[in-house]
Amino acid sequence: MDDFREGNWLLRADAAAGLRALHRAGQQVKMIYIDPPYNTGNTFAYHDRRAKDEWLAMMSPLLASARELLTADGLIFISIDFNQLCELKLEMDRIFGTANLIGNFVWVSNLKGRQLGAGPAGTHEYILTYARDATQVGQLRGRTELLQKLMPTVYHLPQRQVKHDARGAYVTKNELYNTNSKFNEVTAPSMVFDIHYHPQTGAVRTSEVGTLDPELAGAGWVSAHPHPNAKPGLKFHAWRWSRAKVERDYADLEFQVHGRGTHRSLKIYTKIRDFHETALKDLVMGPSTISGQRELQRLGLGGLFETPKPTGLLQVLIEAATSPGDTVLDFFAGSGTTGQAAHATGRRFFLIQLEEPFSSATSGPAGEQGLHTIADLTAARLRAAEVPFHELRC
């Protein structure tokens, strides 16, 4: 049995055989990304024209086998275009269960548009995402800095002043009051109350609206009442936090005192501490097919593979679904983008790539570089990117 417990691995194998080898070794992975042949007949490096049910017959056992390799909190991401999306979705619902559907990303692969027939020029494809068990998976998040760099049009978050308190760094964005007038003293009575703050001591108290403890009145406390509600028959907006939460967690609130003397007023903001991260949106636009091609070119392998995914796309998915040290699997590895991105982010990987010969369009230039199969290209890319890995034929 092969010892897959350490290092990165390229398995030169049919996907089914490669997955079997991982099963035999008792290997589990936190994340799977695959970019299977799309069944469109438009790619030139490999042969992918299959009838739809033949395509599903190929994919279905692989997906079932892949599910068994995922850890309980593992996720699978599948790149797919519109041609095959519906069949794949139904099959994934059957194998993983509809409750484990996490989302469907739109990846803008080519904003210029690719004209393939009479329809509109294609600009995007999808990344269908399922969990082995959605109850074990938290929100998909990304590093704000990376997302803004890769996708400035999707993540243009305003620069916020970073402040510090005894618990560390934070930024503020929203006031504590709930701007939605639907939440008020009728619909959320436990969230309608007065908040009192003592600027000198930092103490915080709460009370029923308009019932400031006489002991507190005039002793340096500043009070915030719930905001007036403009809806007929209502008096107040609710806060976003309950009274119990304000009393317990007020260290996560910023109190700003405005004005002087009897005209003092209080504004209350919630502190955001995980501001280096943000929730992923289901749109990836920036890293494109062209950027994927350029990356291969920079590694001296330009023109040998038509549709490499950009490493930025994989980096975002890998960082959202795994932690450093976790293991990522791609059993349709192609040019090996997943391996390069996994290594760059400190994750371990398994790549499986069939020993498929280059098509006639690319076999000439590939042969000049000593590359005869797509698996040779996968290995060449990893070497060019200085990614350490072991190889195995199975």
Contacts with ligand SAM, residue ranges (CB under 6 A): 14-15, 35, 37, 46, 305, 307-309, 332, 334-335, 337, 352-354, 356, 374
Q: Helices in the chain by DSSP H: which ranges?
A: 15-24, 52-69, 82-96, 144-150, 243-249, 289-298, 311-321, 337-344, 360-368, 374-384
Nearer Cβ to ligand SAM (151/299): 299
Nearer Cβ to ligand SAM (266/304): 304
Nearer Cβ to ligand SAM (150/224): 150
Nearer Cβ to ligand SAM (15/328): 15
Closest CB 66 distance from ligand SAM, rounded Å: 12
Closest CB 13 distance from ligand SAM, rounded Å: 7
How many CA atoms within 13 Å lie on the side-chain side of 303? 10
Nearer Cβ to ligand SAM (184/338): 338
Nearer Cβ to ligand SAM (25/219): 25
Closest CB 88 distance from ligand SAM, rounded Å: 14
Closest CB 35 distance from ligand SAM, rounded Å: 3
Lookup result for tokens 């109850």: 135
The SS3 of residue 336 is: coil
* Measured distance CA(119)–CA(385) in Å, rounded: 39
Residues forming beta bridges with residue 184, ordered by sequence position = 237
Closest CB 354 distance from ligand SAM, rounded Å: 4
Closest CB 188 distance from ligand SAM, rounded Å: 48
Tell me the residue number closest to ligand SAM, measured at CB.
334
Side by side, the strands of the sheet bearing 204-207 are 204-207, 194-197, 222-224
Query: What's the gap between Cα 150 and its chain centre?
Result: 13
> Among 358, 25, 267, which Cα is nearest to 7's?
25
> Among 349, 102, 359, 100, which Cα is nearest to 381's?
349
Closest CB 109 distance from ligand SAM, rounded Å: 11
Query: What's the gap between Cα 368 and its chain centre?
Result: 39
Residues forming beta bridges with residue 142, ordered by sequence position = 278
Nearer Cβ to ligand SAM (224/314): 314
Distances, alpha carbon 194 to alpha carbons 201, 229, 371, in Å: 18, 15, 73
**347, two tokens:** 């994750």
Closest CB 73 distance from ligand SAM, rounded Å: 24
Nearer Cβ to ligand SAM (299/320): 299
* Measured distance CA(283)–CA(277) in Å, rounded: 17
